[in-house]
Amino acid sequence: MKPFTSAAVVVLGIVALAHLYRLVQPFEIIVAGSEIPQWVSVAGLIVAGGISIMLWRESRAST
């Protein structure tokens, strides 16, 4: 696995885990005075987790 691909998989995996944690242990996130709704974490989990898994699978298949 190339170094950048490894780093991207790890970073996106951590982002996905952070979104999952927010869904399991709800807490408020306020940006510029506006609260970010929980559904944003659902979308973030799906997108970040999906890209992380796809990158990991692609890197394994190309070796």
> Residue 33: what residue type?
G
> Residue 45: what residue type?
L
pTM over the 0.75 mark: yes
* Sequence ranges of the domains in the chain: 3-61
The pLDDT value recorded for residue 20 is: 97
Q: What's the pLDDT tens digit per position in 8-62?
A: 999 999 999 999 999 999 999 999 999 999 999 999 999 999 999 999 999 888 6
